Amino acid sequence: MTKNSTSELPIAPSTPLVLGAMAFGTRVDEDTSFALLDRFLERGGQWIDTADCYAFWESPDGHGGASERVIGRWLAARPGARERVLLSTKAGAEPLWAGSWPEHRAGLSRRAIHDAVAGSLHRMGTERIDLLWLHQEDRATAIEESMDAIAELTDAGTVRRVGASNHPAWRVERARAHAIARGTAPIDALQLSATYLRPRPGTRPEGVIHPFGVLSDEQHDYARAHRPDLWAYSPLMSGAYDHPGKAISEAYDHPGSTRRLAVLDDVAAELGGSRGQVVLA
């Protein structure tokens, strides 16, 4: 297993324990965020996943950064914690000005990536990002330019690894081929919306706004062939599996879901767990 030479933590665990920090500093107040981070660390969690744009849609000024600032304050208040956790953050989806998303966002040009990373490092009070995600594809920028910018950061040790979130498989392959040909760090992780239920073809679950945001058979096949880490976002559908007050997205309303949920209920009852626990397992 590959090790992080600084912390001696596994840099690519086969089943990473990830804490999503999207709502920290907005819907989740700082005291609660600190308590969740403390508990996560105590229980052996490693990856904290955030983004420079989190959560602009909840922020009074229409910009992201609140989540990273909370993480930075938590790290500052917990000496030694930085060497026990791995930080992943994302670049590319921050609005250029309040209310401009999605038409006008930072994108993935060389300048945008360098500016995003500099901002993330400052807000989190760290000297490195363990995994930088290209948050959503940017058709206005050649993927080669984005990967060359990442190469500058990985060569400097500022970024350890690079991943792609909400990208079609063909652009991931193009980015990987370019990086490998140059001898620089290729994309070795994919992050997409994935859960036990499957959406109807041609639909996207509520909250998935990217056309390539839901894990597809093609993306899954690509992951099997090339072995990048595969991260799922929204695996619990914001609690809809177990919370009676949260509706399952209409995209999952079809006979296949009815049968899947029946089996899920049977397994949960047999194991004495909740639906959500079984889904995560």
Q: Quick one: which of 236, 230, 272 has its CA closest to 252?
A: 236
According to CATH, the topology of domain 18-235 is: TIM Barrel (3.20.20)
* Per-residue model confidence (pLDDT) at position 16: 67
Beta strands in the chain (DSSP E): 18-20, 47-49, 86-91, 131-134, 162-165, 187-193, 229-233
Closest listed residue to residue 238, CA positions, set 267, 207, 265, 217:
207
Element containing residue 182 per DSSP (H, E):
helix 169-182
159 CA to centre of own chain = 16
> Structure pTM?
0.91
* Positions of the chain with pLDDT under 50: 1-13
Taking the CA atoms of residue 251, residue 190, residue 212 and residue 24 in that order, the dihedral angle to the nearest 10 degrees is 60
Q: What's the confidence (pLDDT) of residue 8?
A: 40
pLDDT of residue 17: 80
Q: Residue type for 64, please?
A: G
Tell me, what's the pLDDT at 207?
Answer: 85
Q: In 3-state terms, what secondary structure has residue 256?
A: helix
The two three-digit tokens of residue 94, written as one number: 């921050």
Q: Which has the closest alpha carbon to 147: 97, 182, 118, 116?
A: 182
Catalytic residue chosen out of the listed positions 54, 196, 222, 241 = 54
What contacts 98, CB < 8 A, 6 or more positions away? 56, 61, 62, 63
Token match 């909840």: residue?
58
Report the 10 Å Cβ neighbour count for 219: 20
Measure the CA–CA gap between 119 and 113, rounded to whole angstroms.
Answer: 10
Contact 146, 174 (CB under 8 A): no
Please report, for the chain, the start and end positions of each structural domain, with discontinuous segments joined by +: 18-235, 241-281
Q: List the strands of the sheet with 187-193, edge to edge.
A: 18-20, 47-49, 86-91, 131-134, 162-165, 187-193, 229-233
The pLDDT score that the predictor gives to residue 53 is 98
| 54 included as an active-site residue | yes
Quote the CA–CA distance of 281 and 276 in Å, as a whole number: 9
